[in-house]
Amino acid sequence: MIGMGYRTIKTAVGAGLALWIASLLNLEFATFAAIVVIMCIERTQKKTLDSISDKFFASLLSLLFGVLFFELIGYNPLILAIFILLFVPLLVKLNLENGFITAMVIALHIYAVQEASVQTVLNEFYIIFIGMGIAILVNLVMPSYEKDIQKNQFKIEEKFYIILYECEAYLRDSNREWDGKELADAEEIINKSKAIVIQDIENHLFRTNNQDYNYLQMRGDQLEILKQMVSIVWIVSSSEVHVKQRDMLADFFEYISENVHSGETIDVSLARLEDYEASIRETELTKSSEEFEVRANLYYLNFEMKNYLQIKKRVFQTDGWKGETN
């Protein structure tokens, strides 16, 4: 059913449960307990706790100042208007403006009964406690995003495989046709995945490190390097000059593309790049400006590929991942 998501279900269950408990206790304004639940439940546990914190302290302030204000000055519409004019700036100053509505409802309850007795104060406190307590409890149930995260990681690696493979193919055949669409696709998937991972992080309040987000950040950084490499590959492939380093780098692109999903270590890949650099140093000097330009671009590709791999290595060392991919 459209709109029948986790949040809708939790809100319905929580509101009904809060109203039932408040009614069992014969609390006045019992329906407000259900309203508190509806207002407090957010998309993530972190946002829910932040919302509850603001509303709780704003409500306590409203209860305290409402009792003092109305009892000392009186119960009439003008006094209520003055109370609101003075109370709102206080909430803003304390950064509790998100609790404005619940706080105002509390004040209006006191105004409605026109009595600031201990029973009235406790009644409002119990309603707040029930509503916010139920909101916390029902929001402990959160959907798992692990499958979506893993699925998107696989999609990203598939796009990376195609990009690296096309770089290899272009270095071998300048007549090959490729529009580079996978670069934009990979960026879109990475951005969407970050939103999912952030939501997952906010549902794990005591998590100090998140490998999934670090992975996406790593892939995002690598993608920026891939964009640079693709532009250089197109420049090199457009040249008629052919040097052996071009084939060597094509072999390396092929190797990296085939190992995007594998457990090959980064050190192996970096060692191969060192061999490639050694071959450049051993090559005789260029005989033309065009050959110099080609070799310079190939050397730049080698430099960017090293950065591409070093990004992964740094993340691996920081997070201590057991698995490793190129």
Q: Which residues, at least 6 apart from 35, have a Cβ–Cβ distance to it below 8 Å?
A: 15, 105, 131
User: 263-275: per-residue pLDDT in tens?
Assistant: 456 777 787 777 7
Residue 322 has pLDDT above 50, yes or no: no
Query: Number of helices and strands (H, E) in the chain?
Result: 12, 0
Residue 312 has pLDDT above 90, yes or no: no
CA distances to 5, 211, 233, 272 from 280, rounded to whole Å, are 59, 37, 18, 13
Instruction: Give the pLDDT mean for 51-56.
Output: 90
Tokens of 133: 């307590």
What is the predicted pLDDT for the residue at 308?
87
The answer to whether the beta carbons of residues 138 and 40 sit under 8 Å apart is: no
Instruction: Give the pLDDT mean for 282-303.
Output: 73
Question: In the chain, what are the domain boundaries?
Answer: 6-138, 146-319
**pLDDT confidence of 60, banded at 50, 70, 90?**
very high
**Integer Cα distance of 127 and 121 in angstroms:** 10
Instruction: Give the pLDDT mean for 172-194.
Output: 88
User: 198-240: per-residue pLDDT in tens?
Assistant: 888 777 766 656 788 888 998 999 999 999 988 888 888 777 6
Chain center to CA of 9 = 24
CATH class, 146-319 region = mainly alpha
Instruction: Give the pLDDT mean for 116-124.
Output: 89
- Higher local confidence (pLDDT), 284 or 187: 187
Average pLDDT in the chain: 83
What is the predicted pLDDT for the residue at 321?
53
The region that residue 180 occupies, defined by phi over 0 for left and psi between -120 and 50 for alpha, beta otherwise, is left
Instruction: Give the pLDDT mean for 118-125.
Output: 90
